[in-house]
């Protein structure tokens, strides 16, 4: 059988970038052993914001959310690893920082769900869709092994 590696899209949102938390948040994901295969800072365009949050269109918080994600630079990342979609969301914690477990990014660095510091894809389809909004295929660095891959014998995994 063996475990397959997945990819996910992560964004450090403007509130966290502005507060100087970029390196701290990247470190949470790196320390877990996830491989960063895409990384850049950008200002989210109107079009990107609308595509990214299309599922929330029409909700009461939609306009505020679009304004928030464009309120400063984001740091966009593509991570690769075993069960990285679920695992990254565990590291992030619940959407509302007040409900998030202590030790998660949102519990440790945020107070409000309107400013919850980090985004992570919620399923493989969302991950593929979101990665394509922010990265061209040639911007991903896939042809290297990180330490987790070097110490993981894939044929030994159940
Ligand atoms: P997620 O980021 O944990 O996947 P979603 O439900 O997909 O949560 O919501 C997307 C983003 O919209 C959240 O991260 C948060 O910034 C914002 N948001 C979600 N629910 C609310 C709300 O009830 N009020 C204000 N903002 C919200
Ligand atoms: Mg979501």
First to last CA, the chain: 6
Is 52 an annotated catalytic residue? no
Band (pLDDT 50/70/90 cuts) for residue 1 is very low
Contact status, residue 121 vs residue 18, Cβ threshold 8 Å: no
What pLDDT does 29 receive?
Answer: 98
Digit-coded pLDDT (tens) for 37-88 = 999 999 999 999 999 999 999 999 999 999 999 999 999 999 999 999 999 9
Digit-coded pLDDT (tens) for 6-51 = 999 999 999 999 999 999 999 999 999 999 999 999 999 999 999 9
pTM of the model: 0.96
Distance, in Å, from the CA atom of 65 to the CA atom of 102, rounded to the nearest integer, reads: 24
What pLDDT does 38 receive?
Answer: 98
What token pair was written down for 12? 């450090």
Ligand 1 pocket list (CB less than 6 A): 56, 61, 65, 95, 113-114, 116, 119, 122
Measure 141 CA to ligand 1 centroid, in angstroms: 30
Digit-coded pLDDT (tens) for 91-114 = 999 999 999 999 999 999 999 999
């Amino acid at each position: 059988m063996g475990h397959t590696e997945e990819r996910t899209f992560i964004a450090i949102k403007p509130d966290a970038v502005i507060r100087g938390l970029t390196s701290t948040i990247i470190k949470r994901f790196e320390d877990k052993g996830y491989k960063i295969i895409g990384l850049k800072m950008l200002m989210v365009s109107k079009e990107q914001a609308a595509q990214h949050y299309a599922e929330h269109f029409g909700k009461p918080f939609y306009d505020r959310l679009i304004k928030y994600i464009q309120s400063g630079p984001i740091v966009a990342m593509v991570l690769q690893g075993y069960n990285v979609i679920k695992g990254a969301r565990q590291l992030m914690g619940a959407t509302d920082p007040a409900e998030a477990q202590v030790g998660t990014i949102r519990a440790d660095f945020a107070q409000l769900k309107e400013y919850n510091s980090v985004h992570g894809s919620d399923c493989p389809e969302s991950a593929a869709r979101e990665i394509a909004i922010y990265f061209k295929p040639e911007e991903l660095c896939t042809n290297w092994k990180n330490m987790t891959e070097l110490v993981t014998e894939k044929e030994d995994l159940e």
